[in-house]
Amino acid sequence: MDGRIINNDVRVRDHIVETYRGHTQEVCGLKWSASGKQLASGGNDNLVHIWDRSVASSNSPTQYLHRLEDHTSAVKALAWCPFQSNLLASGGGGGDRTIKFWNTHTGACLNSVDTGSQVCALLWNKNERELLSSHGFTQNQLTLWKYPSMVKTAELTGHTSRVLFLAQSPDGCTVASAAGDETLRFWNVFGDPNEAAKKSAPKKNQEPFAWANRIR
């Protein structure tokens, strides 16, 4: 309720290493960038903050790098782009219903797309330029978008309550969704795992017995 974000390093006795203060209500979403240098936070105050860890402090609250105020409802869904390090996607709640794209270097809003329903989670495809969003009322669906055109390419239904979380398999092809209906669902939404394996397969001239390392 205090709107604070605390970064803890559980390996040390004085475990509070950074404190971030900027939200005035509950913090709904947190996501580190791939580099670990920036943190995005979304709040029940309709705000998105970008924090720069290089100026963070454990002694005093850290000042945000950017304060993004375009959403009109709570922001839970956050996703850093895997192929463009300064691109962040955020999704607004039931009173907003948009996915917004941000340049985290400048704080500029690059695009805003009305999805028609509450945005609960966002997930980028690791292998292709696609974005998956999950939603609440009324369809509780997952929607696949091409990026940057944001053309809708698929809608996946089956959950009977809002889809709160998305997680991607290591090969990037399968997505697990968790919803308020207390079910997990697994979707082959990002393509054929075999095709992805072919793309990422090592070239010839492997070391002898390299296959043995893959035995589990």
Which burial class, exposed, middle or buried, applies to 109 when counting CB atoms under 10 A from its CB (0-12, 13-18, 19+)? middle
pLDDT in tens, the chain (216 residues): 899 999 999 999 999 999 999 999 999 999 999 999 999 999 999 999 999 998 887 777 788 999 999 999 999 999 999 999 999 999 999 999 999 999 999 999 999 999 999 999 999 999 999 999 999 999 999 999 999 999 999 999 999 999 999 999 999 999 999 999 999 999 999 987 566 456 555 555 555 555 455 454
What are the beta bridge partners of residue 111?
101
Contact 80, 101 (CB under 8 A): no
The reported pLDDT for the residue numbered 216 is 45
The two three-digit tokens of residue 72, written as one number: 């009109």
pLDDT of 8 = 95
Contact assessment for residue 97 and residue 72, using Cβ atoms and an 8 Å cutoff:
no
Give the number of other CB atoms < 10 A from CB of residue 144. 20
Contact between 123 and 137 (Cβ < 8 Å): no
Q: What is the pLDDT of residue 199?
A: 59
Partners of 31 in beta bridges: 40
Residue 202, pLDDT score:
59
62: DSSP letter:
B
Whole-angstrom distance, CA of residue 52 vs CA of residue 40: 9
Q: Which residues of 36-51 are buried (b: 16+ CB within 10 A; e: fewer)?
A: eebbbbbbbbbbbbbb
